[in-house]
């Protein structure tokens, strides 16, 4: 196995799903399920410029970014937060998504999901007791950090971070959670509630959404949308309002000539959310999700060609640059991994 300029193993390493070498050959010849991991590049502005957090692992004597293996069925978003807390004592607020890193770990494929992240109090010091897993945690100027990092795949994470905007805000577009069979519901459809699966997923949602900094809520007035976010709004007491334009009504109550929803009204309302520049989660319906995402990508001058719809209980995260309002990154998840 060869070593890169920082001494890290690079055999079979690939970035963003491309590349060659043993990892690719393994996938073609007989796919091996990769080790799933997640982490975050914690950054702040220090006296001399940008600083990032590095951790030292005593068993190997190496320096790396905080990351670790996901538990069975653990969501990568919450897993990234958990690993950073466990390895640094700092609670991250996830920013823009960074490209995943794929490489061989002891001969087995490993994929690490990455985010840029800040902390709730960037000026706070590190108070982390040494242990068998991590014995030293430091804020390090980014140039020195690149030199200190042991592994090339961690250096690539730093380079990916430096190649884009540091300060961003998330706008999360959630399709409401499972709400039973629409055809079997005999009352006004705006009153249709979550079913058992939807209620269970609603209880899992707060930990996922709070990873992005406890964004405010703007939601459709439909019961299945407000109920999707109710546990989150109660747990974190975030500002919440309903938006008629994001609501799919019964046809007789619709906002546009008897139609159950108005596309232009919805797109204009979403454009206003983007322009306000605040972390926000918008909960709406499957009929409107592609239109709202198209509005976001068009407003942010980002080309797109893929399908923009979502399954129930899935969400887009649009990371918008704080200065200039451009698109920094996009990610898509289900509420449950």
Of 135, 163, 191, which residue is a domain's last? Answer: 163
Of 132, 163, 194, which residue is a domain's last? Answer: 163
Residue 18 in this model has a pLDDT that exceeds 70: no
pLDDT in tens, 183-199: 899 899 899 999 999 99
Does 173 share its domain with 159?
no
Rounded CA separation 28/248 (Å): 45
CATH number of residue 300's parent domain? 3.40.50.1240
Does 59 reside within a domain?
yes
What are the backbone angles phi and psi of residue 254, rounded to the nearest 5°? -65, 160
pLDDT in tens, 124-141: 789 899 999 999 999 999
More confident residue, 29 or 336: 336
pLDDT attached to residue 244: 95
pLDDT attached to residue 24: 38
Residue 257 in this model has a pLDDT that exceeds 70: no
Does 174 share its domain with 319?
yes
What are the backbone angles phi and psi of residue 205, rounded to the nearest 5°? -70, -35
Does 189 share its domain with 109?
no
Rounded CA separation 218/239 (Å): 9
pTM attached to this predicted model: 0.88
The token pair that represents 191 in the structure block: 């009153």
Residue 16 in this model has a pLDDT that exceeds 70: no
The string of DSSP letters for 88-142 reads HSPPEEEEEEEEEEEEEETTEEEEEEEEEEEES-TTPPP-----SS--EEEEEEH
Q: How many domains is the chain partitioned into structurally?
A: 2
Does 206 share its domain with 291?
yes
pLDDT in tens, 149-166: 999 999 999 999 999 999
Residue 8 in this model has a pLDDT that exceeds 60: no
Residue 239 in this model has a pLDDT that exceeds 70: yes
The pLDDT > 70 percentage for the chain reads: 88
Dihedral over Cα of 104, 109, 110, 113: its sign: positive
Rounded CA separation 52/34 (Å): 27
Average pLDDT over residues 207-232: 98
pLDDT attached to residue 317: 99
Q: Which domain holds residue 62?
A: 35-163
Residue 251 in this model has a pLDDT that exceeds 70: no
Of 146, 163, 180, which residue is a domain's last? Answer: 163
Q: Please give the mean pLDDT across all residues of the chain.
A: 89
Q: Is residue 37 helix, strand or coil? A: strand
Does 25 reside within a domain?
no
What are the backbone angles phi and psi of residue 211, rounded to the nearest 5°? -60, -25
The answer to whether 78 touches 107, Cβ cutoff 8 Å, is: no
């Amino acid at each position: 196995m060869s070593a890169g300029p920082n001494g890290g193993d690079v055999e079979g390493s690939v970035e963003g799903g491309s590349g060659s070498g043993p990892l690719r050959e393994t996938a073609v010849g007989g796919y091996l399920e990769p080790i799933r991991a997640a982490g975050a590049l914690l950054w702040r502005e220090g006296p001399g410029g940008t600083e990032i957090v590095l951790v030292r692992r005593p068993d190997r004597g190496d320096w790396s970014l905080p990351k670790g293996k996901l538990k069975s069925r653990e969501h990568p978003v919450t897993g990234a937060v958990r690993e950073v807390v466990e390895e640094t004592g700092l609670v991250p607020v996830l920013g823009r998504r960074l490209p995943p890193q794929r490489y061989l770990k002891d001969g087995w494929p490993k994929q690490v999901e990455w985010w840029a992240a800040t902390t709730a109090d960037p000026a706070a010091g590190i108070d982390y007791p040494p242990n068998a897993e991590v014995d030293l945690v430091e804020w390090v100027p980014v140039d020195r950090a690149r030199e200190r990092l042991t592994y090339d795949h961690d250096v690539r994470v730093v380079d990916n971070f430096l190649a884009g905007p540091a300060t961003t805000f998330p706008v999360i577009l959630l399709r409401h959670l499972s709400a039973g069979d629409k055809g079997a519901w005999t009352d006004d459809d705006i009153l249709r509630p979550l079913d058992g699966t939807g209620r269970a997923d609603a209880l899992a949602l707060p930990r996922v959404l709070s990873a992005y900094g406890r964004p405010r809520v703007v939601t459709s007035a439909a019961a299945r949308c407000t109920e999707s976010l109710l546990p989150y709004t109660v747990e974190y007491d975030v500002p919440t309002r309903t938006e008629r334009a994001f609501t799919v009504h019964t046809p007789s109550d619709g906002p546009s000539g008897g139609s159950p929803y108005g596309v232009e009204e919805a797109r204009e309302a979403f454009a206003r959310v983007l322009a306000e520049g605040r972390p926000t989660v918008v909960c709406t319906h499957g009929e409107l999700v592609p239109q709202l995402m198209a509005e976001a990508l068009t407003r942010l001058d980002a080309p797109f060609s893929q399908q923009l719809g979502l399954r129930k209980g899935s969400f887009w995260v649009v990371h918008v640059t704080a200065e200039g309002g451009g698109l920094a990154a996009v990610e898509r998840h289900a509420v449950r991994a």
